[in-house]
Structure 1
Amino acid sequence: MAPDSARTPLAAQVEELLAVDGPLPIVTAGDPVLRGAAEPFDGQLEPALLDRFVQALRVTMHAAPGVGLAAPQVGVALRIAVVEDPAPVPEEVRLARGRVPLPFRVLVNPVYEPVGPDRAAFFEGCLSVPGWQAVVARHARVRLRAEDERGRPVDEVLTGWPARIAQHETDHLDGTLYLDRAEIRSLSSNEVVVARWSQPTPERAADALGFPLG
């Protein structure tokens, strides 16, 4: 039997978070909640509270703005994330990065596995590491398995930028930040990325900063 969600500490924590209108505060690197494995979701939040929490995650993601947000990033150690990317990018960027629109969806207890050996390296940022980006090589295709907020199964193969988003957000639920996977010599402020490294691919940055791609 699922626990009485009204009595779980996580439910009380979420209720407290939702007591304030507007976007939720985003936890930043150095907070232990970002470094532990999140608890699998198993009814800790009753459906109505889960719906409210998911909506708050979506509002917070949009306000940041970002293309994904995991529950630990607002201090809640549950395996829940939301993703959405309208992908408003130039055609050359779309082609180079595989950045295509990703409709809003909720991922409950997601896991991923690579599909094939191909990897792709691009600059990546994180709402919990504000102001910085670094190049991360990730699987170019992954099989994502999860449930949605209604418990319906999700099982699909993602490629390009949607695959990157799914990996990034699922990593959060395992206590992994993108910096753990990054080429640390590529670490650049947002301002420098815009000024120097805004090309569709990071080859120029790799040459100038001295890090490998792949």
Structure 2
Amino acid sequence: MAILKIARMGHPVLLGRAAEVDDPTAPEIRQLILDMAETLADAGGIGLAAPQVHQALRLFLWREGQELRVLINPEITPIGAERARAWEGCLSIPGLRGEVERPARVAWRGLDHEGRPVQGEAEGIAARVLQHENDHLDGLFYLSRMTDLSRLGFVEELARFPEEAA
């Protein structure tokens, strides 16, 4: 396994729609997943999309509790009209956080690391992470989802003034 370099905002690999994964069981995809898992653990994140490690493929990992999940060729669909606001950060935009409104609940489906169909529903932080990582597969950053840029700040500053960030 290897720790991969994380692409930062501005790199072209993060700007376009990623390609479908044709064979989820291909050795290079299995290795990519292992390397992404190690990279995610090293970076201390809760989600990582393949474009963030310079691979323009429709694949991401996310941590749900202690479990690391893989979703290949995902489809994410909002459930209901309820929306939720929360602070998001991104490994490709280090040091910044922004408040983003997203659907509160989502249905998801795709393929797991063995190429088997999987599906489920998510709410709370899991729903947020699924949507955030899926956005990377379409060349979007959380910044493009923000409606109030006064709710964007450096992590250190937001920590110094927690009452204003609440």
TM-score (norm 1): 0.73
Q: How much does 1:195 deviate?
A: 1.8
- Deviation larger for 59-68 or 148-157: 148-157
The 5 Å alignment of 1:49-68 reads 49-68=28-47
1:35 to 5, 15, 34: 15
Aligned residues: 165
**Identity over aligned residues, as a percent?**
41
Unaligned runs of 5+ in 2: none
Residues 51-76 of structure 1, C-alpha deviations (whole Å, 9 max, x = no match): 21101000001101100000000111
SS at the partner of 1:188?
Answer: strand
TM-score (norm 2): 0.93
How many Å separate the matches in 1 of 2:112 and 2:127?
17
Q: How much does 1:102 deviate?
A: 6.2
Unaligned runs of 5+ in 1: 1-20, 86-100, 207-214
2:149 maps to 1:189: no
- Deviation larger for 33-42 or 182-191: 182-191
Matching residue of 1:169: 133
Tell me which amino acid in the other structure corresponds to 1:79.
R
How many Å separate the matches in 2 of 1:173 and 1:72?
7
How many Å separate the matches in 2 of 1:193 and 1:30?
24
Alpha-carbon contact 1:81-1:108 (below 8 Å) kept? yes
SS at the partner of 2:36?
Answer: helix
Tell me which amino acid in the other structure corresponds to 2:34.
Q
2:165 to 193, 196, 205: 205
SS at the partner of 1:154?
Answer: strand
2:59 maps to 1:80: yes
| Runs of 4+ deviating beyond 2 Å | 45-49
Tell me which amino acid in the other structure corresponds to 2:13.
V
2:8 maps to 1:23: no
How many Å separate the matches in 2 of 1:111 and 1:47?
21
Q: Which of the two has higher C-alpha Rg?
A: 1
How many Å separate the matches in 1 of 2:161 and 2:4?
32
How many Å separate the matches in 2 of 1:171 and 1:84?
17
The alignment's C-alpha RMSD in Å is 1.6
